[in-house]
Amino acid sequence: MDEEMVREGSDKKYAVYEVYSQGDGSGDFTGSNVVKNEYLASWLPLKGPFRPFIYQPGDSYVKCGPHKLVWRYRNRVCFIPSGKGSLKDFGFEIAPTPWSDISQVNVFDSRVKWYRYDQARERSFIPIDELWTSKK
């Protein structure tokens, strides 16, 4: 998610994000087979008269192909499929990077750490500007 694209109001939060995919496994995002989509994730004030009828009206998820990962404003993506509420391995991985443009992406860079669902892994927060300098 582009940090500069996050828009804040008094009670509404949004992030514009881009999803790139290519199915040939080459890791090359410059070819003509690359598909780009742009979406808006939002975290809006809860609605509903009272519990259990309160709900999140925004698109509080990040679309990744056929999957939707939970997005929590401002900086969290979770391996919980949106609307399902269950934790499990769906067979995909994510890799946080400090890159801000698709032309910088190198999936084979040795600094890139891929994360797959792991219920036993401890939660850790690493600021993006310290991502590749942290000892974690």
Nearest CA among 128, 127, 130, 93 for reference residue 113: 93
C-alpha radius of gyration, the chain, whole number: 16
- Rounded to whole angstroms, the Cα distance separating 76 from 131 reads 14
User: How do the domains of the chain map onto residue ranges?
Assistant: 3-130
Burial bucket for residue 97 (CB in 10 Å: 0-12, 13-18, 19+): middle
pLDDT, position 84: 52
> What is the pLDDT at residue 8?
47
| pLDDT (0 to 100) of residue 5 | 44
In the predicted model, residues of the chain with pLDDT beneath 70 are 1-12, 75, 79-88, 90, 134-136
Token representation of residue 41: 């994730």
Q: pLDDT tens digit string along 87-102?
A: 667 677 788 888 888 8
**How much is the pLDDT for 87?**
62
Distance CA 37, CA 66 (A): 13
In this prediction, residue 80 carries a pLDDT of 62
| DSSP result, 55-102 | B--S--EEEETTEEEEEETTTEEEEEETTT------S-EE---S--SG
Residues 81, 68 contacting (CB under 8 angstroms): yes
